[in-house]
Structures are given as C-alpha cells and as structure tokens.
Chains A and B, each alone.
Chain A
Amino acid sequence: MTVAAAPAMAGPEARHTRRLRNPVFLGLLLAPCLFLGIFYFAPVANVLVMSLTEPSVGLQNYRLLFESGAIHRILGNTLRVSSVTTVTTLLLGYIIAYGLVRVGPRERNALLFIVIASFWISALIRAYAWVAILQPNGLVNQALMGMGLIEQPLRLVRNELGVVIGMVHYMLPYAILPMYANMSGIDGRLMAAARALGASRTKAFCWVFLPLSLPGLVGAGILVMIFSLGFYITPAILGGGRVVMIAEYISIQISETLQWGVATMLATVLVTAVVLMTILMSRFMEVGGTIGAKGKKA
C-alpha cells in the first residue's frame, strides 16, 4: 500500500507555495471534476432521484423493500451469496498470501504470476471456462464418472454452488494482493521470537501473526464484499437465471418489465451500501492502494 503524498508539502516553503496557487494548476484540478460532474454524476443522480418520482412522487418504491416477497428473495440471495463468497475468498486468499510471504523468491514469483495472470483475464472468459468445467457433461463430472465415483452427473452449475465458485475465483486476486502487501510488512522475527520463548507453531501463528495481519484481512474482506454485492456477469452466467442477485434483477426491471421505479430504488440501496462500506474500508486500507503501487513500481 502506498503512502499519501502529504510529506512533500511540509515546512515553511510549502506554506509559501500554497499561497501562490496558480490558476493553470487549479484549472487542471477542476476541469476533470467538472467533466465528471456533467457526464457522470448528473446521469447517476438523475436515475437515483427517479426512485422517488417513478411512477409517482413518494416513497412507494421504498415500501417494497419491506413488503415485496420477490425483493426479499433477491436481497436474501445477494447477501447470502456475497457473504459466502467473501468468507471463502478470504480463507483461500489468506492461505496463498501467507504462502507468498513464506516461500523463497523464485517460488514467490511463480505464485504471483498465477495470481496476476488470473487478475488480468477477462471475467467473461473465466465464467465461460467455469461453465465448461462444471456443467453436467463438463470436465469434473466426466472425470468423476470415468473413475466410477458417481453414476449421475453432479449439479455444479446453474445453482448457488456454481455462482460461488465463479465469484470466489474472480475475487481471489483482489483479496490476495492487499493481504500480501500487508503481510510483507510483518517482521518475521516476531514469530521466531515467539517460538524461542516457547510458543508452539500454532500458538505463535494465532497470537502473533494473525493479529498483525488483521488489518489486511478486514480491508480485503470489505473490498470483496463491495464487489460481490453489485456483481452481474458471473452470477448471470453461472446462475443460469436461478440465482438472481440484485444487479441482474435491476437489469431485468429495466430491459424486460420496464419498472424504472423499482430498478432505481434498488440501485439507490446498492449505491448507499457500497458508499458506506467504502468509507469503512478506507479506515483499514487506502482505496486503490495496490493499483497506485503498480504505477510506482513500473
């Protein structure tokens, strides 16, 4: 994670330069803000307000949050799948991040290569690959039937299991990279000291390493939860219409049933949840820290 730019602006000269604000640089700062204000925030605000005005002015769309069984089911699906995804991703991500800090440099590069390669490969292509692997006559079922372990193909896709597998696979790099960054900062000699003082291997890990790695774990967890809540592609492809989460439901409301009021109400709920979680996350890690680090290294 990167350190903020603040130290460059310290001391008496800094105060001096701050008074000499140059209009050119102020323009450079404000022009993109103005651009996003017009072309990004205005359209987004426009549809969020629609949740209060479509089909008529009032809170009737928000009442559905409490009254509509369909919406309860969608919200339930979204929360359940996102939570299971987040917990599984953190567990698997922690294993690989811990492995990364413990193995030698050559092995670390090989593991990191796999993590970063899967980060860059298109989400669509990966969802397609998972369909190929998990479908009734896919690789897993063919292998298990070939070995005589099962007679009927297992149902691994077009259900929640398939969605969770695909989502965990997509989210893993997002969890691994910040956790690895956090763990690389932990001094390994602390573990050695704990061992020398008589702690067992497990005890040393639980009482020394784990607490020190918690900020990375929590930050990564919130990041994965944020991405999971609004995820569209993987649930739509691997869920096959059976595991509809909030993003897919919003899309159906717009393109098929034309219920703009319901769709924009759910969009508002989603944005509110994501913004609150981002504020919470910024207390544990810098937003976009690992991306900034890439620019620095390059």
Chain B
Amino acid sequence: MKGAMELSALSPVRVAAWAVAAFLALPLLVMLPISLTPHRYLSLPTDQLSLRHYASLLEDPRWLASLSDSLIVAVAAAVVAVMLGTSFAVGAWRIGGQTQRYLRPLMLSPMIVPPIVHSVAFYKGWAEIGLLDTYIGLILVHGMKGAPFVILTVGAALANLDVRTEQAARSLGAGPFRALFWVILPQVRPGIAAGATFAFFISWDEIIVALFITMRAVYTLPRRIWDGLSDNIDPAIAALGTLMILATIVLMLMNAGLASRAKHKS
C-alpha cells in the first residue's frame, strides 16, 4: 500500500499478523520432530532421536512403488492439461468474442465442481468404458482437473501479447501452425510452465478421485498416505511429510530465485 504510515515494532497489526502466520506454519513445523521419534506410534521424541521412520520409507517397497505411480500420473496429467489448456487459451485469445465468453466458464468448471461429484461420475463412467484402475483412466481425470489452471496462466500470458505479432508472421508467409509454434507459443512459455506446475501439483496431491477409480494396479502416494491414516497413524507418514515439505520449500526458493534473476536480466 502506497503512502501508508510506518508501523511501530510491536504494533498490534504486526503482532496479530505474525500470530496468524504462526498458526499457518505450526503443522509444517511439527512434522520434523514427529518424524524423528524412536517410537512406533505418533509421538514427540523425548530423550533420543531416530531415523527408523525414514529407513522404513526406503525399506518398504510399497512406498517406492507409490512414488513412481504418482510421478508417472502427475507428469502425464500435466502434459494432458497443457495440451487441453493451451489449445483452448490460444483459440480463445485468437477468436475472442462471445463464443469464448460462454465456453470459458465451462472449461474452468473442473476447478469449481466439488471433487466428490466428479469422483462419483468417473467411478460410474469409467466402469462403463473399462478405465477403472488404469493409468490412462487416472491420467485423463487429473489432466482435465489441471486444464483450468493452464487456461488461466496461459490466458494471462496471452493477454500481454499483441495479436498483431501473429498477423505479422502470417503476412510474412507463415501458415497458421508455423505462426502457432514459432511465434505464439514461445512467447507464452512462462505461462505454460506455471500452468504445468499447477497441473502437476493438482495431480500429485489428488486423493478423492484416486480413492474412487483406483484399487490395486494404480496406487498413488496420497492413496498410500490415506491408508496409513485410517488404520493406525503411522509415523512413517511424518517422515514422508517432512521430505515433501522440504522439497516444496526448495522448489519455491528455486522458483523465486529464477524469477528475480529474470527480473534483473530484463
């Protein structure tokens, strides 16, 4: 906010904001100590630390199998989401007008419709066409759930792009496909990258559809965590959670670093 008055060191505004931030950070901060407990049940370590729960992640082949399932599904889903989302965003940008104004909310609906509703729908629908418990079945759903995020990020990147760049390319003799791949897409690469990241995470974290449409053949990481939560609460999940939190924070810092480097360059 421009022209705001300076806050004093212990002003109530600052103290209250940090108190809420502490509430936000608390669950992330407790994962590390829990994961180091020497006990087999969910507890805080009292006199000694142990890495046994990290070891159990590596020793139990089911965790690694789920990790690879999750990676396969999330990468493929991000590809599907980028193809669907970019295609729509470019088409909408170029065609414009009423058509896209009515189609856009429909294309965004996988983001708005409560997951339980489309989970029931896919459970029924995929059973009819034999896609239950297959990689393709889960990838399709996750890809469609990720597409709205790509539409939003690529759409925002295209909004900064002058329509005439495409017209210039066309008037210099480029066909529509050439103009698309050599002129339009390279200029919205950051939007595509941001959308792909969103789509990857949507799939990586998705549990409700996975609970409904996968059983044995495909068993993603959230599905495995869910099982660990419902029987008796397994501290190995805290070890996995700690690793996931660390990975997320490293990625965020890398992303922030890239963004500030890009800013310095331009």
Q: Taking chain B's interface residues, is the majority helix, strand, or loop, or is none over half, making it mixed?
A: helix
CA distance A50 to B120 in the complex (A): 11
A66 at interface by CB-CB < 8 Å: no
Query: Inter-chain contact count A-B, CB under 8 Å?
Result: 327
Tell me which residues across on chain B come within 8 A of A4, comparing CB atoms.
159
Q: Which of B26, B140, B157, B180 has the most CB of A within 10 A?
A: B26
- In B192-237, the 8 Å CB interface with A consists of 193-195, 198, 201, 204-205, 207-208, 211-212, 222, 225-226, 229, 233, 237
Is A254 touching B123 in the complex (CB atoms < 8 A)?
yes
Q: Select one of B107, B110, B114, B212 contacting A229, CB under 8 A.
A: B114
B62 at interface by CB-CB < 8 Å: no
B155 at interface by CB-CB < 8 Å: yes
Q: Select one of B28, B99, B225 contacting A121, CB under 8 A.
A: B28
Is B244 touching A121 in the complex (CB atoms < 8 A)?
yes
Whole-angstrom distance between the Cβ of B189 and the nearest chain A Cβ: 10
A220 at interface by CB-CB < 8 Å: no
Tell me which residues across on chain B come within 8 A of A103, comparing CB atoms.
7, 14, 17
Is A121 touching B248 in the complex (CB atoms < 8 A)?
yes
In the A-B complex, the 9 residue pairs with the closest CB atoms? A99-B17, A230-B114, A295-B153, A29-B91, A43-B125, A129-B27, A188-B4, A28-B91, A292-B156
B45 at interface by CB-CB < 8 Å: no
CA distance A292 to B91 in the complex (A): 17
B249 at interface by CB-CB < 8 Å: yes
Binary per-residue interface labels of chain B (104-137) against chain A in the complex, 1 for a CB within 8 Å, 0 otherwise = 0111111111111111111111100000000000
A217 at interface by CB-CB < 8 Å: no
Is B167 touching A17 in the complex (CB atoms < 8 A)?
yes
Whole-angstrom distance between the Cβ of A33 and the nearest chain B Cβ: 6
A9-B97, A142-B44 given; 17 more Cβ-contact pairs under 8 Å: A8-B162, A32-B84, A46-B124, A101-B4, A111-B21, A115-B21, A125-B240, A128-B237, A133-B26, A169-B27, A187-B2, A188-B3, A267-B116, A287-B108, A292-B156, A295-B155, A295-B195
Is A267 touching B23 in the complex (CB atoms < 8 A)?
no
CA distance A9 to B159 in the complex (A): 10
A296 at interface by CB-CB < 8 Å: yes
Tell me which residues across on chain B come within 8 A of A60, comparing CB atoms.
none
B67 at interface by CB-CB < 8 Å: no
Q: Select one of A35, A132, A192, A295 contacting B3, CB under 8 A.
A: A192
A53 at interface by CB-CB < 8 Å: no
Binary per-residue interface labels of chain A (3-14) against chain B in the complex, 1 for a CB within 8 Å, 0 otherwise = 111001100011
Whole-angstrom distance between the Cβ of B54 and the nearest chain A Cβ: 15
Is B20 touching A96 in the complex (CB atoms < 8 A)?
yes
Tell me which residues across on chain A come within 8 A of B100, comparing CB atoms.
29
Is A115 touching B24 in the complex (CB atoms < 8 A)?
yes
CA distance A28 to B237 in the complex (A): 43
- Nearest neighbor of B124 in chain A, beta-carbon distance: A47
Whole-angstrom distance between the Cβ of A233 and the nearest chain B Cβ: 6
- In A12-68, the 8 Å CB interface with B consists of 13-14, 17-18, 21-22, 24-33, 35-36, 39-44, 46-47, 50
Is B113 touching A274 in the complex (CB atoms < 8 A)?
yes
Tell me which residues across on chain B come within 8 A of A292, comparing CB atoms.
152-153, 155-156
Residues of B within 8 A of A (CB): 1-5, 7, 13-14, 16-21, 23-28, 30-31, 34, 42-44, 84-85, 87-88, 90-97, 99-100, 103, 105-126, 140, 144, 147-149, 152-164, 167, 176-177, 180, 190-191, 193-195, 198, 201, 204-205, 207-208, 211-212, 222, 225-226, 229, 233, 237-238, 240-241, 244-245, 248-249, 252, 255, 259
Q: Select one of B23, B42, B109, B229 contacting A135, CB under 8 A.
A: B42
Q: Select one of B19, B120, B154 contacting A267, CB under 8 A.
A: B120
CA distance A223 to B118 in the complex (A): 19
Is B229 touching A133 in the complex (CB atoms < 8 A)?
no
Q: Select one of B13, B167, B208 contacting A99, CB under 8 A.
A: B13
Is B21 touching A114 in the complex (CB atoms < 8 A)?
yes
Q: Select one of B111, B121, B167, B222 contacting A47, CB under 8 A.
A: B121
Q: Select one of A24, A132, A137, A250 contacting B120, CB under 8 A.
A: A250
If A18-B96, A271-B117 touch, whether A296 touches B233 (CB-CB below 8 Å) is no
